[in-house]
Amino acid sequence: MEVMLAMFLSTGGLSGVKFRHISNFQGVYRNLHTTAVVIGGIFALIAIVISLLLIFQHLKSYTNPAEQKWIICILLMVPVYAIESIISLWQPKISIVCDILRNCYEAFALYAFGSYLVSCLGGEGRVNELLEKERTKHQLSEQLLKREEESGKSHRYSFRGFFCNPSTLGEDLYKIVKFGIVQYMILKTLCSFLALLLEFFGVYGDGEFKWYYGYPYITFVINFSQMWALYCLVQLYNVTHHMLEPIKPLAKFISFKAIVFATWWQGVGIAMICYFGVLPKKGKIQNGIQDFLICMEMTIAAIAHIYVFPADPYHYVEVSGYGKVTSMETKAKLDSGFQGFKPASVERTEACVEAPGMSITESVQDVVIGGGEHVVKDVVLTISQAIEPVEKGVHVLQESFHHLSQGSNEASTTKLDVEEHIVKDM
């Protein structure tokens, strides 16, 4: 027993055992790194090929630019995630750069999904009209139930109505939702580059929940911003889900939210596991595990997108005055089985117009240029909306100080006049 205790103390006690445990784990990780890169690369390649084929189908049948430009932006999320993850897994030294690219595109993809829902509803103007109709219906129902004339005016501009009953806000609901989505895109991008800057100075501390590192603060800001943006999408869906039934919005919403929400919390969970010592924090092990899991998850997401965002509905459009008319005729004979009766024939003719569409080059240009212009316009609008209350507050403060200074000047002038009057009387 004494010999065993002496050997235990000679190896450094508990710290020595912990050090050997970490060293052994890192040795196993190094041995499995090549295998993980190969397996992750196979999954990433499958995900990229499936997604690119689906994107090519949309570009080939680019008949509804308002919707399909955002679908393509959402589908590109899988190749971006897969490429970023396999590069980060292969070269852990540049994992922070890969994370920035992934985070920036994740924020843009959330914006693209919101824009896609708006396009399916007919555009921003149409959405405002629909939301105003929903508000009017709510007002009428309240008046009928409560029999009060003022019941329809409740929560018109109340922020509390956004949480309790968003349909009462009308077109103000869309303003709140749009601001919530765009703010996440702006904050996620800024926080990503801030993380890179802090990493350069050695104070980022990826996965370290300590007050002198920037990781916990950036994680809190991004988490709150993301939750708010997703909640805004949920509220918009709750009000407009019956209008979006033709596109089956629930499946699209779940598939997209699973990628954004699951991958983010997956990274936070792995960081927490490493923080509590279940896995070692050194050697970029937690980033490697996250990247390997994302490579596999993107394959599942790519397969799901085939059924959630298919290109088949855009191959043809409704009959109109232009386009190539395609006629499909179906004939069938029905034999009654009785002698003396001729078999009945059933004919069915379906006509549709093959959409003229665009060339693939024109489709790519519309996605890049048209989508980029839309993003810039919304970002500028959101920044101006965020600055407007600040400018009003500064203006109010300036006016208050101005009134105070004028009041003090008038008081001093009155005091001087009184003193002069007293002197003259004396």
Each domain of the chain, given as residue ranges in start order, spans 19-312, 324-354, 363-426
Answer for the pair 85, 298: CB distance below 8 angstroms, yes or no.
yes
pTM: predicted TM-score of the whole model, two decimal places: 0.73
pLDDT confidence bin for 71, thresholds 50/70/90: very high
CB neighbours (10 Å) of residue 114? 23
- The arithmetic mean of pLDDT across residues 13-36, rounded, is 57
What is the average pLDDT across 12-40? Answer: 62
Length of the chain: 426
Q: Check whether 203 has a pLDDT greater than 80.
A: yes
Q: Which residue do the tokens 């949920």 mark?
A: 234
Q: For the ranges 24-38, 192-206, 323-337, 362-376, which has the lowest average pLDDT? A: 323-337
What would the pLDDT profile of 221-252 be if each residue is shown by its tens digit?
Answer: 988 998 888 888 888 888 888 888 888 888 88
Least confident stretch, 233-242, 252-261, 275-284, 293-302: 275-284
User: In this structure, what token pair is assigned to residue 399?
Assistant: 């006016």
Cα–Cα distance between 202 and 176 in angstroms, integer? 37
According to the model, what pLDDT value does residue 387 have? 81
* Comparison of pLDDT for 257 and 147, the residue scoring more: 257
Fold of 19-312: Rhopdopsin 7-helix transmembrane proteins (1.20.1070)
- The pLDDT of 196-221, averaged and rounded, is 85
Rounded to a whole number, what is the distance in angstroms from the first to the last CA of the chain?
A: 108
Tell me, what's the pLDDT at 156?
Answer: 46
| 175 to 172, 180, 302: CA distances (angstroms) | 5, 9, 32
**How many angstroms separate the CA atoms of 42 and 352, rounded?**
41
Other CB atoms within 10 A of residue 422 CB: 9
Mean pLDDT of the chain: 76
Q: Which residue has the higher pLDDT, 287 or 296?
A: 296
Q: Give the range among 90-99, 182-191, 273-282 with minimum mean pLDDT.
A: 273-282
Looking at this protein, which amino acid is placed at residue 377?
K
Amino acid present at 168: T
Whole-angstrom CA distances from 34 to 21, 177, 291 are 21, 45, 14
Query: Among residues 289, 225, 302, 218, which one has the least CA distance to residue 259?
Result: 302
| Model confidence pLDDT, tens digit, residues 107-144 | 899 899 999 999 998 888 888 888 888 778 766 766 65
Helix (H, G, I), strand (E, B) or coil at 331: strand
So what's the pLDDT on residue 316?
65
Residue 43 pLDDT greater than 80, yes or no: yes
CA distance 367 to 70: 8
Tokens of 270: 């792995």
